[in-house]
Amino acid sequence: MTAMKEFTKGFIKENPVFILVLGMCPTLAVTSSVKDALGMGLSATFVLLCSNIIVSLIKGIVPTKIRIPMFIVVIATFVTIVDMAMAAFMPPLHKSLGLFIPLIVVNCIILGRAEAFASKNNVFMSVMDALGMGLGFTFALVVLGTIRELLGAGKILGFPILPQVYQDSPMLVAILAPGAFITLGFILAVINLLNKRGK
Amino acid sequence: MELLSQIMIMAVGAIFINNFVLAKFLGICPYLGVSKKLDSALGMGMAVIFVMTMASAITWLIQSYLLVPFNIEYLQTIAFILTIASLVQFVEMVIQKNAPALYKSLGVFLPLITTNCAVLGVAILNLTADNGLPYNFGFSILNGFFSGVGFTVVLVLMAGIREKLEYAELPASMKGMPIALIIAGSMALAFLGFAGLKF
């Protein structure tokens, strides 16, 4: 039962983006389309899953003093794997995510979960935690990406949704840099409002 | 003269046109986290300028004399993040020993910088040299320095606005992070205007 709780907490109660406000750089940078958001979310989930497994396996061996550098090396290894695999199999996605793939290393969510959860719990729990947090991160990115792509291009995943008239002159600012900040700001405000109503 | 104008173009480009925070979405976490007070924003900014300049220099040396000669460029991410982490630790120790006054004002910010994606970002961006400038030691250092200055300018502006914002009457659900993000969005909108600058 607790395993299920570790899995679901990442979606709503402790959503890394909407509630904890972590990992802002990729959240804002790659959500100009749903496709990029999905690619980034799943890459980060993969890295988080692998690093959580390794960290929880080596938790007894690593001296406490050098644990942070060790965690970073583990994370950087998996990021390199993702980087090279994506460059080989999905070159267009690799190109559009660009700099933000190597920057998964410094995503605070991943180091945060390694330090706060995986280094204290067993492998199974760490897997559940990683899947929950990773998919929660992906979910948040996709929500943001959907809103921005719909407003900024009138499409979702490249399929036209809004009428042609809108697509000819969309609200371009939504897919530019300012749109990212403003959209996330309003989403957080709505979540605050809902949280208050719920209480 | 040629050199001087190149440096000027680089400075304006890094500080205003391709601002690290508002155009490239790097270093968002400290931008939102440390911008509540003007003093701490200034301290953080100075620490970031310092570390980014140093990191640009060291990662350039590592890339040119270690990774390229041995054909191990794929280890870039791991090598860079480890270098930056140890550099920050080293800088912290040196400052603590030799300049206690400086340590008092910068000290608390230094450990935070390791997970600042702007530092790793500038190290990787220096290598791609997509800004049309020659890729060499001097220009890497200057790019690191000017990018740090760009970060500081935006951070200090943000802190100034947020200090005034304390007195504004806001809806309860907009307080804190949501309004900060919306202000960041407005600032990004203003900085978008610099994109029209041509030399």
> Which of A103, A108, A178 has the CB atom closest to B185's CB atom?
A178
CB contact under 8 Å between A80 and B185, yes or no, is: no
> Tens digit of pLDDT for each residue in B9-55?
888 888 888 888 888 888 888 888 888 888 888 888 888 898 899 99
A145, amino acid identity: G
Q: How many residues are recorded in chain A?
A: 199
- Closest residue on chain B to A191 (Cα): B173
| A171 close to B (CB below 8 A) | no
Q: What pLDDT score was predicted for residue A1? A: 59
| B129 close to A (CB below 8 A) | no
Chain B residues 42-71 with a CB less than 8 Å from chain A: none
CB contact under 8 Å between B181 and A73, yes or no, is: no
Instruction: Enter the tokens of residue B15.
Output: 């500080």
Burial of B41 (C-beta count, 10 Å sphere; 0-12/13-18/19+): buried
- Closest residue on chain B to A71 (Cα): B82
Q: Which H, E and C letters describe chain A, residue by residue?
A: CHHHHHHHHCCCCCCCCCCCCCCHHHHHHCCCCHHHHHHHHHHHHHHHHHHHHHHHHCCCCCCHHHHHHHHHHHHHHHHHHHHHHHHHHCHHHHHHHHHHCHHHHHCHHHHHHHHHHHCCCCHHHHHHHHHHHHHHHHHHHHHHHHHHHHHHHCEECCEECCCHHHHHCCCHHHHCHHHHHHHHHHHHHHHHHHHHHHC
pLDDT band at A142 (very low <50, low <70, confident <90, very high): very high
* ipTM value: 0.84
Find the mean pLDDT for residues A127-142.
Answer: 91
Sketch the domain layout of chain A as residue ranges: 2-198
| pLDDT at residue B128 tops 80 | no
In whole angstroms, what is the distance from residue A28 CA to residue A141 CA? Answer: 8
Contacts of A181 in chain B (CB under 8 A): 181-182, 184-185, 188
pLDDT band at B126 (very low <50, low <70, confident <90, very high): confident
